[in-house]
Amino acid sequence: MTDSSAPPVCLTIGSSDSGGGAGIQGDIKALASIGCFTATVVVGLTAQNTTGVLGRHPVPVDFVRAQFDAVRADLAVRAVKVGTAWSAEHIAAIADLLSGLGVPVVLDPVMVSAAGGDLAGADARAELIGSLLPLAEVITPNVAEARLITGDGTSGARTLAQRMIDLGAPAVVVTSGGEDDGDWFADGLSLVRLDRPNHRTGAEHGAGCAHSALITGLRAHGFPLPEAVRTATELASGAVRDGLTSVGRGVHPVDTLGLPPRSPRRRVPADHV
């Protein structure tokens, strides 16, 4: 019997960001901010900070499966986010694991980081389209990722959203990163622009991860998909607005937790003066 007072459990499948701003670490923070407990399956490690991705190391597929099996054996997962999947072999394994799971799956096909790192090879595209797209409830690429997936290298978010639907995505949110075209949601029945403020704070690292994680958590809480998308868009925009511009020397991290903009000055006890 499920305890209605317990936090919903979400599973995030993706990569570690050693800088802490995006990836698995960013997902945990975003999900915690809306009252979710987060389990993880780490598919790969990155040597990464706010200036870029400096190194990559995939986790063997067998150990990806072992992590998933351990989580499923013990935790009642209510929704899943899939982030960076690294290779066609990893994508096929993840699709196999998620098949028949029966919970909302949010696919954030992370291929290009905010700091400019290329996180996926071209050989993964066909596997992602063929195996993961049909399992996902919603896909959340940015414009650059949607262009890579669709092969349309020039269109804006509105056209790319429809092209993703044509590829087989049941629903999609294409985020523009502040381009004039805006963010667009499509589900095969409607094509809707998602209005949000365009905050140029220099603190966008982890924005896409936070956005997709927030959609995942809100779906775990029972929000209908359109409402989850609108709310997550608003919350992710606020995380950029309130981004941690004092952290890092490159693209600063977003803030989903409402952290103070800087650490308070330590007070020295009187007897130490």
pLDDT in tens, the chain (273 residues): 456 679 999 999 999 999 999 999 999 999 999 999 999 999 999 999 999 989 989 999 999 999 999 999 999 999 999 998 888 999 999 999 999 899 999 999 976 544 444 445 567 788 899 999 999 999 999 998 899 899 999 999 999 999 999 999 999 999 986 556 789 999 999 999 998 888 888 989 999 999 999 999 999 999 999 999 999 999 999 999 999 999 999 999 999 999 876 544 433 334 433
What is d(CA 70, CA 68) in angstroms, rounded to the nearest whole number?
5
C-alpha distances in angstroms, 71 versus 11, 64, 149, 186?
8, 11, 30, 32
What is d(CA 103, CA 235) in angstroms, rounded to the nearest whole number?
23
Residues whose CB is less than 8 angstroms from the CB of residue 77 and which lie 6 or more positions away in sequence, other chains included: 9, 10, 11, 39, 71, 101, 103
Do the strands 9-17 and 77-82 form a parallel or antiparallel pair, or are they unpaired? parallel
28 neighbors 256 (Cβ within 8 angstroms): no
Under DSSP, the state recorded for 209 is: H
126 neighbors 112 (Cβ within 8 angstroms): no
In the chain, domain spans: 9-258
Cα angle for residues 12, 14, 18 (degrees, 5° grid): 110
Residue 123 burial (C-beta neighbours within 10 Å; 0-12, 13-18, 19+): exposed
The CA dihedral of 73, 81, 234, 247, to the nearest 10 degrees, is 100
* 179-214 pLDDT per residue, tens: 567 899 999 999 999 988 888 889 899 999 999 999
What is d(CA 133, CA 142) in angstroms, rounded to the nearest whole number?
15
> Would you state the pLDDT for residue 115?
42
Query: What CATH number should be reported for the domain whose range is 9-258?
Result: 3.40.1190.20
* 64-97 pLDDT per residue, tens: 999 999 999 999 999 999 998 888 999 999 999 9
Residues whose CB is less than 8 angstroms from the CB of residue 232 and which lie 6 or more positions away in sequence, other chains included: 211, 212, 214, 215, 218
C-alpha distances in angstroms, 263 versus 6, 25, 26, 259, 273?
32, 20, 20, 9, 21
What is the pTM for the complete model shown? 0.91
